[in-house]
Structure 1
Amino acid sequence: MGSKFSLEDLFTLTLATIFVVQVLPQARAALFTDPSTLPNHKEYDYIIVGAGPSGSVLASRLTEEARTNVLLIEAGPNDAGQLSLEVPFLASQLQPNMQFDWNYTTVPQAGLGGRTVPYSRGRVLGGSTNFMIYTRGSKDDFDNYAALTGDDGWSWDALQPYFSKLENLVPPVDGHDTSGEILPKIHGTSGPLKISLPGAPLPSNSRVIQATQELRSEFPFNVDMSSGDPLGIGWSSGTFGGGARVSASVAYLQPVLGRRNLDILVNTTVTKLIQTGTKDGQPVFRRVLFAQSGSAPIFALKARIEVILAAGAINTPQLLMLSGIGPVQVLRSLGIKPILDLPDVGQHLADHPLVTNQFGVAQSSDDIIDNISRNATFASALLEQWLIERQGIMTLDGQTQIGWLRIPTNDSAFNGAPDPSAGRLSPHYELFVVPGFMSSRGTPAPTTGFFNTFLTALVTPTSRGSVTLASVDPFATPIVDPNFLSTPFDIAAMRFAVRSAVRFASAPAWRGFLTGPAAGFAEVDTDDDDSVDAWVRAQASTIFHPVSTARMGKCGDARGAVVNPDLTVKGARGLRIVDASVLPLIPAAHPQAAIYVFAERAADLIKSRTGSYK
C-alpha cells in the first residue's frame, strides 16, 4: 500500500551479516520439498491441506498423540531463514505480487468505480499472518457464533481456556514497563504463540493517548482489547516476540519438526479431493491428488481417518468445487461432475474494506516510513540494529496503537438498515495511525513532504461477495469478488469512519505535530457527503480479511451453510474444514486470533472423535 521502502535498499549490509540470518536450519527429516520423496510405507491418519494459522495448529496438536500420523501439504515454500518474514517492519513488503503471495486480483468492483484490487493471501508455511495484529474480538462476536451454530462451545466463555492455551504473553523487546497498557492476567503465558506489546516508540504515541483523554466521550482509552470489550483506543498487541515476527509456522511447526509422526510437504498444491466410497448414503472423501505444477506428475494419497481443509477462504472453496462439492449449476457449467450439492460453497464472502487518510506532520523526523524509503543509509542502519540487537523500529509492525469504535445509534448510517454488529460490544470500524504516507489504493508516495496516515477500516460490512472457479485447471486463479461497498450502510459507515479520523486528528494533542489533511486527502471536503463518498470509493481496498466462504451452521440444515458445528462438511464423510472460511460472520477484529482459537478447539474435537469414521 503506497510508500514501500525497497528491500534492495535495505539489503546493503555486508553479505557476511546477511548470511548469519539466512543460514538458519532449513531442512529437517519431516520436511519434504518433492512429493516423490515422501515415505511410501507410511499411512497417514490425517492429511491437512494448508499450513496457515489453522493448519499449523492442527498439525502440531494432532501429532501430540504419538500414534497419530499427519501429513501437512502447503502450496508455498518453507519460511525458515527468510529475512523478510522475520523482520516485523517488513510485513508490508510481503504483498502484493511477492514470492510468498498467491497474488490474486479481484474482479472489477462496482462499489469502487470499477477498479480491481490486488488480493493478497499467504502462500508459505505460516500463511496469512503478515501484519501480526492480535486482537481477540468482542464477546458478542463469539456468542453470536454459538447462537448461529447451536453450539455453546464456540461462545466467548467456552473459548477462554483455548485462548489461554495458545497464548504466550512475553515482555516487549525494549523491556519497558507495560503497566496501564495491557492486562496480563487475562492472557496465557505458556502457549506456543508469542504475543507482545510494541517494543519501540513511535513519535505519535503520546499524542494518541492524550487525545483519548481530551476526546474521551468518542475515543475512550481501553487498557486491553482482549477482554471481550474491545471498544476504545489503546495499545496494540501483536504476534511477535524477542523483536521478531512469530508466524503460525514459528509458533506451531518449527518446534515440532522432529516428530516422527509429522511430515510436511511444501511447494505442492492439492488439486482435487477424490471420493473413496459411500457411508450411510453419504460420499466419503479421504483421497487427495497433488502436484507441484500443471505440468508436473500428479500424486495421490489416502487419509485413514480424515482430510482436513485449512487452505483459507479463497482456496478452500476453490478446491471443494474442483472436487465436485458446491453449487450444482456452477459445477455443471464448467463440466465438473457434481458429487455433493452445497450451494453455499464460495458464497457469503465478507472482508474489511480499508481507506487511508493522509495528514502532514510538522517535523520530518516524525515520518518514519518516508525517511526509510528516501534514505537507504537510514534504512540500512535500522535493519542492522535489528540484525545485531533485535531492537528499534524494525521490531514494530508499523503501528503501536489501535482503535475499535462504534457508530452512534442515531446516525443516518442506520436509516433503513439494522445494526449489523453482533452486539453493543462489537465495533463498527477500526482506526489506527502509521508514521508516514500510506495509500490503500497504491498511489505512490510524494517525493516531498512528510506524513502520518490515519487508517480507517469497516469491520462490520454488510456487502457480500463470492469465490468461484474460472477454470477446471487447479492452477488457474479463481474468480474473487468481495463486492466491496455495495450497500448503503457500508458507504455511510465508511463516511462516518473517515470523518471520525478527522475529528480524532483535531484533538488539541495534535497541535504542533499535524499540519492538517495532506496529499490527496487535502482535496476532500469532509463536510460534504458526496466529497467523502467519492474519496472512499476512489481509495478503498482491503485489509485482507476474507472469511465465510464455507461457513458453519447448525446440524441438519444443508442450506445456508457448508459445515456442521464440529466443522465436518455437511452431507459428507471423512472431510472437515478448519480455516477462516468457516466463520459464520466476519469478526469485528483482525481474524487471526479467532482462527487460532477455532483451530485449537477443532483439534480437541477431532481428537475426541478419532476413529468415528471408518
Structure 2
Amino acid sequence: MVVVGSTMRLHTHAIIPGGRGFLTKSRYPYLKTASSFSSTPEQEEYDYIIVGGGTAACPLAATLSQKYSVLVLERGGSPYGNWNVSYLQNFHISLANTSPNSTSQPFISTDGVINARAKVLGGGTCINAGFYTRASHSFVKDAGWDFEVVNESYPWVEKQIVQWPKLAPWQTALRNGLLQAGISPFNGYTYDHIKGTKIGGTIFNKHGFRRTAADLLLAGNPKNLQVLLHATVQKILFNTTGTSTLTETVVFQLKAHFLDDDLYSLVSHFQMKHEMHFVHLMALIPEPTPCTIGSPQLLLLSGIGPKNDLKKQGITVILDNPYVGKGLSDNPMNSIFIPTKKPVEQSLIETVGITAFGSFIEASSGFGQSSESIRCHHGIMSAELGQLSTIPPSQRSLDVIKDYVRTKHELPTEAFRGGFILEKIDGPLSVGELTLLNTDIDSTPSITFNYFSHPADLQRCVHGIRTIEKIIQTKQFADLAEDDSDTLEILLNMSVRANVNLIPKHTNDTASLEQFCRDTVITIWHYHGGCHVGKVIDHKYRVLGVDNLRVIDSSTFNRSPGTNPQATVMMLGRYMGTKILRERSRDQQWKRERV
C-alpha cells in the first residue's frame, strides 16, 4: 500500500535479527524492526506507504524511492541469513516448516489441497522453485499494459537477480523426452513464452544460492526507503464524506510482532494496536504478502466487499462491492513420481514444455543423498502429497497430513529416491472465492478453488498425464531408472506394494485418468484473482469507489501469466512504479505550465 504526502509518528532501530547474526545498518540501511515503537516516537514523513514487502512490492518500493520517500510494512522477517530461504537444497524444508516464525504459512483450501502463503520480505520469491519466465505477448496485450514500459521493466529485474541454469541431468532428460513426445520445437534458453520446449531462467545461481525480490530493494535510494519487519497491518480506517467516494484514508492499525534478540524466534505477539495518522493523502497501494490472499482479505477487513459477507463478521460496510474475493483461481497440478536405483542430482524447475492443448509439463528431482535425508526433505508442501499419500483431497487436513509425514518411514526407500514429472493447467476455467472466517488478519480466510469443476480443465489434465506417460517411456528416463524392465511396470508394482498413487493403473481409460487427476491434485502456488480489473480496480489499479487506494499484485490477474508468475509479478511492481513516477512528473509539469 502506498500513501502520498503522509505523516506518521513512530520510532524504530536499524539492527535486524538475521538467523545466524545481525544484518548491519551499513549493508541494509533501510531494514528496521517494528517492535521498537516508543511512547514518545519521533516524527517521520513518507510520500508512499506500501503494505506487504512481497514480490511486486519490493520493485515498486525501489522504483518509487528514486524520487520519493517510501515506507514498506512487512508482516514477516528478513530473508537474509535464513539458510532455508537462501539455498536450493533446503527448498522443501522451508515449505514444511510450520512454526510461528517460519517464512511460509500453511493453509488448506476447502478443496482439501495443502497450500502455503509466504511470510517474509521478498514474498513468494523466497519460497518458490525459482523458475523465471515472462508472460506471453497476448497476456500483456489483454492486460492493457504499455509494451514499451513492459519491455523496460522485465530486463530491469533480470539484470539484478536472474541467470541461466546449468541444466541438471533430470532436466536434460525432460527436455529430450518432451521433444520425443512431440512437444516441439526446441526453443533453447529463453525468457519468452513460446509453444514447444524451452529452458527458462532461474533466481538460483550456480551454487544453488537464491536471489529474491528483496534484493531489488538494493536498487532503491536508501535515503528515501525504510522497511519495517514484523509489522502487520490489521485494517485501513477510512474517513467518509457521505458520498459514494472515500476521500481520505486516515489511519492504519498496526500490530508489531516482538522478536527475542537472543533466540531469533517469535516468542510473543506485541498486542499493541499502534495508530498511525496520515494527512494530505493522494495514493495508497496495497500489496500484502502474499498478494492474492492478502489484498482481498485486507479490503474485506477494512469494510470494502460484499455487504452481506461483511455484516456476518460484524464489519462496518464502508463500500459494498460484491466482487472482492470472488473469481479466485489456482492452477491445478498433478505429477508422476519416477523412482531410480541411485539418488539423482537435486533440481527444481528449469525446463518446461508448453503444449498446444493447454498444459505445461515441468519436473523436479533429488531430495538428498541418503534415505533419511530424503525423507526429512519431503515436507507437507512437496509434490509427494498427490502421489505418496493415498488420502483423497476431501479427507485431507493439516493434522492428517502431519500424521502421514510422521509415518513416512513405513514407505519403501524407493518411494523417495528419484524425481517428479508434473503437469499443470494453463488458465483454469474453474474458479472459486475467498471469504472471511474471522476478523484476524493473521489467520487465513476460507479459500475455495473448485479444482476441475469445469470439464475442460479435467480434459487438459488427462492430456497432460498421457503426455507424461509418453515421456517416461523414452530412453532418457529408462536410463535414469537404470532397470532393464519397463518403467511403467516398476511404478505399477511399487504402487501396489507401497499402497501409493505413483501412476494411474489404466492410462488408456479416460475415466480412470480423470479420477487420478481428482485424487492426486496439488498446487504449485500460482493462485490469483479476487481483485479483478474492472470489478474491484480500474486499469490504473485504483480501487473503484475509493480515492487514494490501489492494488498492485497477482490478485488483479484473470489468469496466471506465462508458465510461472514470479517474473511478471516483479515486472508489474517495476512497471507501476515507473508509471506512477511518470504520471506525477506530467502532473507537476502541467502545474508549472498553469502557473
Task: Normalising by structure 1, report the TM-score.
Answer: 0.75
Partner of 2:230: 267
Deviation at 1:440, TM superposition (A): 3.8
Determine helix, strand or coil for the equivalent of 1:253. Answer: helix
Give me the whole-angstrom Cα distance separating, in 1, the residues matched to 2:294 and 2:335.
28
Partner of 2:394: none
Partner of 2:135: 137
TM-superposition CA deviations, 1:225-253 (whole Å, max 9, x none):
42342x22222311133631011112x22
Give me the whole-angstrom Cα distance separating, in 1, the residues matched to 2:243 and 2:443.
35
Matched, 1:544 2:525: yes
Partner of 2:335: 356
Given candidates 432, 439, 443, the residue that maps to 2:363 is: 432
Matched, 1:405 2:355: yes
Distance verdict in 2 for CA 1:133–1:52, change over 3 Å: same
Deviation at 1:205, TM superposition (A): 4.3
Determine helix, strand or coil for the equivalent of 1:296. Answer: strand
- Check the 8 A contact 1:399/1:434 in 2, yes or no: no
Distance verdict in 2 for CA 1:355–1:213, change over 3 Å: closer
Aligned pair count reads 497
Distance verdict in 2 for CA 1:289–1:205, change over 3 Å: closer
| Amino acid aligned to 1:549 | G
TM-superposition CA deviations, 1:467-507 (whole Å, max 9, x none):
11111233333111122221111111111111110112222
Q: Percent identity?
A: 22
Partner of 2:565: 591
- Check the 8 A contact 1:96/1:119 in 2, yes or no: no
TM-superposition CA deviations, 1:59-112 (whole Å, max 9, x none):
1111111xx221100011122211111112322222144343452423432xxx
| Amino acid aligned to 1:222 | N
Give me the whole-angstrom Cα distance separating, in 2, the residues matched to 1:295 and 1:455.
43
Give me the whole-angstrom Cα distance separating, in 2, the residues matched to 1:472 and 1:522.
42
Distance verdict in 2 for CA 1:316–1:488, change over 3 Å: same
Give me the whole-angstrom Cα distance separating, in 2, the residues matched to 1:210 and 1:472.
51
Distance verdict in 2 for CA 1:210–1:491, change over 3 Å: closer
Partner of 2:285: 308
Alignment of 1:180-191 (within 5 A): none
Give me the whole-angstrom Cα distance separating, in 2, the residues matched to 1:581 and 1:492.
26
- Check the 8 A contact 2:361/2:421 in 1, yes or no: no
Give me the whole-angstrom Cα distance separating, in 2, the residues matched to 1:90 and 1:279.
53
Give me the whole-angstrom Cα distance separating, in 1, the residues matched to 2:313 and 2:503.
48
- Check the 8 A contact 1:356/1:440 in 2, yes or no: no
Question: What is the root-mean-square deviation of aligned Cα atoms in Å?
Answer: 2.8
TM-superposition CA deviations, 1:534-588 (whole Å, max 9, x none):
22111111001111111113xxxxxxx1111111111111111111111233324
| Amino acid aligned to 2:559 | L
Determine helix, strand or coil for the equivalent of 1:429. Answer: strand
Partner of 2:9: none
Determine helix, strand or coil for the equivalent of 1:576. Answer: coil
- Check the 8 A contact 2:18/2:82 in 1, yes or no: no
Partner of 1:12: none
Give me the whole-angstrom Cα distance separating, in 1, the residues matched to 2:49 and 2:149.
28
Partner of 2:538: 564
Alignment of 1:150-299 (within 5 A): 152-153=145-146, 159-168=150-159, 192=160, 194-199=161-166, 201-215=167-181, 217-229=182-194, 231-241=195-205, 243=207, 244-250=209-215, 252-254=216-218, 256=220, 259-278=222-241, 281-283=244-246, 284-292=248-256, 296-299=271-274
Partner of 2:439: 472
Give me the whole-angstrom Cα distance separating, in 2, the residues matched to 1:402 and 1:484.
22
Given candidates 566, 572, 577, the residue that maps to 1:603 is: 577
Distance verdict in 2 for CA 1:435–1:516, change over 3 Å: farther
Give me the whole-angstrom Cα distance separating, in 1, the residues matched to 2:45 and 2:149.
34
Partner of 2:420: 453
Determine helix, strand or coil for the equivalent of 2:433. Answer: strand
- Check the 8 A contact 2:532/2:556 in 1, yes or no: yes
Distance verdict in 2 for CA 1:342–1:104, change over 3 Å: farther
Partner of 1:582: 556
- Check the 8 A contact 2:193/2:563 in 1, yes or no: no
| Amino acid aligned to 2:287 | A
Determine helix, strand or coil for the equivalent of 1:245. Answer: coil
Give me the whole-angstrom Cα distance separating, in 2, the residues matched to 1:40 and 1:336.
33
Deviation at 1:282, TM superposition (A): 1.1
Distance verdict in 2 for CA 1:430–1:208, change over 3 Å: closer
The ranges of structure 1 where at least 4 consecutive aligned residues each deviate by more than 6 angstroms after the TM superposition are none
Determine helix, strand or coil for the equivalent of 1:292. Answer: strand
- Check the 8 A contact 2:324/2:530 in 1, yes or no: yes
- Check the 8 A contact 1:272/1:288 in 2, yes or no: yes
Matched, 1:61 2:63: yes
Determine helix, strand or coil for the equivalent of 2:130. Answer: coil
Determine helix, strand or coil for the equivalent of 1:222. Answer: strand
Give 5+ residue unaligned stretches, structure 2: 1-16, 258-268, 368-377, 390-404, 496-500, 589-595
Deviation at 1:260, TM superposition (A): 2.6
- Check the 8 A contact 2:531/2:556 in 1, yes or no: yes
Deviation at 1:334, TM superposition (A): 1.7
Partner of 1:336: 315
- Check the 8 A contact 1:135/1:226 in 2, yes or no: yes
Matched, 1:84 2:59: no
Give me the whole-angstrom Cα distance separating, in 2, the residues matched to 1:167 and 1:206.
23
